[in-house]
């Protein structure tokens, strides 16, 4: 593994400042949390950004270390990082690939945005330079996610000896959505990705959307090529041992006890999500509201997604709550043991993103659940492709349809629940996180 270089925005370890000194905490959740245990002790090089002041100080003092992984920090100026991470990666590419643009008003590609795009290019260049300097001869370079879309062409030009692949953990925008980006930027994006030996996706749907971008004459002209790079499909699977260990930890046991007390023997619909637009929390809560009572008032226009979510929860609880029953137990703080406790205890798991690369909650839930719980799953999540035979599918935009699906799930006969739960476990157990890593290495090794 010493001739493998992993490249991602967030690395295996992050540092916070305590009394002016950097203190390490290991990555949890997400891509970095998945990769770190797979690479521990391997001597693999991992190139990652310095994200806050703690990371920057640790990098300057040469302290960065993670479980026998050789971490190479890329220390870009905070202003460049902010433009690359917030304005372009999270504010533009995330919206493009998840089809979240509110096209009547946003995006706005003004001078500020174009300056940020230049910052994104500099951030990608800084990563490319680190890989160019650090990668051993003929190394395999595994680049992760949309933040680093431009790296392919930069590496191909300077280090043709490397075998590089890009793996995208989100969907890829359909060509019309990629065409919303300023044409030169869309071209640069597609040219950057075309420089990789292969580009990987969680499902065939995202791979196909990507390849079809090169069939659009304007996009191909801007990219300078109509030849899409090779693609491969490698669905990410969960890490069952780590999940099982987390499920029996003392913090999870305590969270389970608190949850059981709050639920008091009622049936439980669970969702575990970041508060983020693609996760479609609002429509999930509105569907719950229709399920409880079949009519609904409209809400104020979009102000801030989180405050809208909080408002929806408060309103529904106010409307239907009794002294003995709080309909929605909404917990905004990130608390992994509590998430595990919820996943173990659900009768129904609601996963309704408007579009999602994979969605690991849909895969981890059934492995942890102890009640033959039913999964209600958006057909626009990548996980749907593997779980469609045993989950109940929903169109994530259809609130009434989602409410009906929740009702079907709650009323399902025990034998049918058990049959579906067993099917889900079989489908999910067919692949683990390490199969996904092996697929990337195989794709990189192809001539
Ligand atoms: O879920 C998609 C994803 O890109 C993951 O691969 C990654 O861990 C995460 O989103 C990025 O989140 P953050 O911006 O918090 O690093």
**Predicted confidence (pLDDT) at residue 185 exceeds the cutoff of 70:** yes
Token pair recorded at residue 259: 């949850």
Counting Cβ atoms within 10 Å, is residue 219 exposed (0-12), middle (13-18) or buried (19+)?
buried
C-beta of 252 in contact with ligand 1 (< 6 A): no
Is the N-terminal amide bond of 107 cis, ω within 30° of 0?
yes
At a CB cut-off of 8 Å and minimum separation 6, what does 191 contact? 153, 223, 224, 225
269-270 and 348-351 strand pairing: parallel
**Residue 369 half-sphere exposure, CB side, CA atoms within 13 Å?**
28
For position 305, what pLDDT does the model report? 84
Nearest to 242 by CA among 68, 26, 55, 388: 26
C-beta of 31 in contact with ligand 1 (< 6 A): yes
CA distance 400 to 291: 8
Q: In this structure, which residue's CA is closest to atom 13 in ligand 1?
A: 10
Q: In this structure, which residue's CA is closest to atom 14 in ligand 1?
A: 90
**Residue 43 half-sphere exposure, CB side, CA atoms within 13 Å?**
5
Counting Cβ atoms within 10 Å, is residue 55 exposed (0-12), middle (13-18) or buried (19+)?
buried
At a CB cut-off of 8 Å and minimum separation 6, what does 19 contact? none
For position 301, what pLDDT does the model report? 35
Torsion region of 404: left, alpha or beta (phi above 0 gives left; psi -120 to 50 gives alpha): alpha
C-beta of 357 in contact with ligand 1 (< 6 A): yes
CA of 98 to the centre of ligand 1 (A): 13
At a CB cut-off of 8 Å and minimum separation 6, what does 271 contact? 281, 284, 349, 350, 351, 352, 361
CA of 43 to the centre of ligand 1 (A): 24
Query: Pseudo-torsion of CA 149, 150, 151, 152, nearest 10°?
Result: 90
**Predicted confidence (pLDDT) at residue 417 exceeds the cutoff of 70:** yes
pLDDT in tens, 139-161: 999 999 999 999 999 999 999 99
CA distance 13 to 260: 34
CA distance 368 to 377: 17
Contact between 367 and 425 (Cβ < 8 Å): yes
| Ordered DSSP codes for 388-446 | TTTSEEE-TT-HHHHHHHHHHHHH--HHHHHHHHHHHHHHHHT--HHHHHHHHHHHHH-
Q: Which atom of ligand 1 is nearest to the CA of 170?
A: 2
Q: In this structure, which residue's CA is closest to atom 10 in ligand 1?
A: 30
CA of 169 to the centre of ligand 1 (A): 8
Q: In this structure, which residue's CA is closest to atom 4 in ligand 1?
A: 169
The pLDDT confidence band at residue 302, using thresholds 50, 70 and 90, is: very low
C-beta of 145 in contact with ligand 1 (< 6 A): yes
Nearest to 69 by CA among 98, 94, 35, 92: 35
For position 446, what pLDDT does the model report? 85
C-beta of 369 in contact with ligand 1 (< 6 A): no
CA distance 423 to 126: 46
Nearest to 270 by CA among 346, 362, 340: 346
pLDDT in tens, 102-117: 999 999 999 999 999 9
Q: In this structure, which residue's CA is closest to atom 12 in ligand 1?
A: 30
C-beta of 169 in contact with ligand 1 (< 6 A): yes
CA distance 235 to 133: 31
> 311 vs 63, which has greater pLDDT?
311
CA of 90 to the centre of ligand 1 (A): 9
| Ordered DSSP codes for 72-110 | EEE---HHHHHIIIIIIIIIIIHHHHTT---TTT-----
pLDDT in tens, 59-111: 998 888 788 999 999 999 999 999 999 999 999 999 999 999 999 999 999 99
C-beta of 91 in contact with ligand 1 (< 6 A): no
**Predicted confidence (pLDDT) at residue 230 exceeds the cutoff of 90:** yes
Nearest to 151 by CA among 234, 74, 60: 74
Q: Which atom of ligand 1 is nearest to the CA of 85?
A: 14
In our burial notation (b when 16+ CB lie closer than 10 A, e otherwise), range 122-143 reads bbbebbbebbeeebeeebbbbb
For position 430, what pLDDT does the model report? 96
pTM above 0.85, yes or no: yes
CA of 340 to the centre of ligand 1 (A): 19
Nearest to 380 by CA among 231, 279, 238, 271: 279
In our burial notation (b when 16+ CB lie closer than 10 A, e otherwise), range 323-340 reads eeeebbebeeeeebbbbb
Q: Which atom of ligand 1 is nearest to the CA of 145?
A: 4
CA of 30 to the centre of ligand 1 (A): 6
In our burial notation (b when 16+ CB lie closer than 10 A, e otherwise), range 415-435 reads eebeebbeebeebbeebbbee
Q: Which atom of ligand 1 is nearest to the CA of 89?
A: 14
CA distance 291 to 399: 10
Q: Which atom of ligand 1 is nearest to the CA of 33?
A: 8
Token pair recorded at residue 48: 């990652």
* 13-23 mean pLDDT: 92
C-beta of 30 in contact with ligand 1 (< 6 A): yes
When computed from its CA atoms, the radius of gyration of the chain, rounded to whole angstroms, is: 22
* 421-434 mean pLDDT: 96
């Amino acid at each position: 593994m010493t001739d493998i270089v992993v490249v991602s925005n967030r690395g295996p370890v992050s540092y916070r400042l305590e009394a002016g000194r950097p203190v390490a905490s290991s990555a949890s959740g997400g891509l970095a949390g998945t990769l770190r245990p797979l690479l521990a002790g391997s001597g693999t090089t991992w190139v990652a950004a310095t994200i806050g002041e703690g990371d920057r100080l640790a990098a300057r003092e040469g302290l960065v270390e993670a479980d026998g992984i050789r971490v190479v920090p890329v220390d870009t100026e905070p202003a460049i990082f902010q433009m690359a991470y917030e304005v372009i990666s999270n504010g533009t590419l995330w919206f493009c690939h998840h089809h979240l643009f509110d096209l009547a008003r946003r995006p706005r590609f003004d001078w500020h945005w174009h300056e940020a795009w230049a910052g994104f290019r500099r951030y990608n260049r800084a990563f490319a330079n680190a890989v160019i300097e650090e990668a051993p001869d003929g190394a395999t370079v595994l680049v992760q996610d949309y933040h680093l879309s431009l790296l392919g062409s930069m590496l191909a030009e300077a280090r043709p000896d490397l075998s590089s692949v890009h793996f995208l953990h989100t969907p890829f925008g359909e060509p019309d959505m990629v065409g919303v980006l300023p044409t030169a930027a869309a071209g640069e994006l597609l040219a950057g990705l075309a420089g990789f030996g292969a580009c990987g996706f969680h499902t065939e749907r995202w791979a196909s959307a990507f390849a079809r971008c090169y069939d659009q004459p304007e996009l191909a002209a801007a990219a300078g090529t109509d030849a899409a790079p090779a693609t491969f499909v490698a669905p990410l699977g969960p890490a069952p041992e780590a999940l099982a260990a987390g499920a029996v930890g003392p913090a999870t046991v305590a969270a389970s006890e608190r949850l059981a007390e709050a639920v008091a023997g009622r049936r439980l619909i669970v969702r575990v999500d970041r508060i983020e637009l693609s996760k479609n929390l609002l429509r999930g809560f509105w569907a719950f509201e229709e399920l409880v009572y079949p009519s609904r008032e409209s809400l104020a226009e979009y102000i801030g997604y989180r405050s809208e979510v909080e408002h929806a929860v408060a309103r529904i609880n106010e409307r239907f709550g009794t002294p003995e029953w709080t309909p929605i137990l909404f917990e905004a703080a990130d608390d992994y043991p509590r998430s595990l406790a919820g996943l173990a205890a659900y009768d129904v798991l609601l996963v309704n993103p408007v579009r999602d690369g994979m969605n690991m909650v849909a895969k981890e839930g059934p492995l942890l659940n102890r009640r033959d719980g039913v999964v209600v799953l958006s057909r626009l999540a990548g996980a749907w492709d593997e779980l469609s035979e045993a989950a109940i599918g929903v169109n994530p935009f259809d609130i009434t349809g989602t409410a009906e699906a929740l009702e079907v799930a709650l009323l399902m006969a025990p034998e049918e629940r058990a049959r579906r739960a067993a099917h889900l476990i079989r489908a999910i157990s067919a692949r683990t996180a390490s199969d996904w890593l092996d697929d990337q290495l195989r794709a990189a090794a192809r001539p």
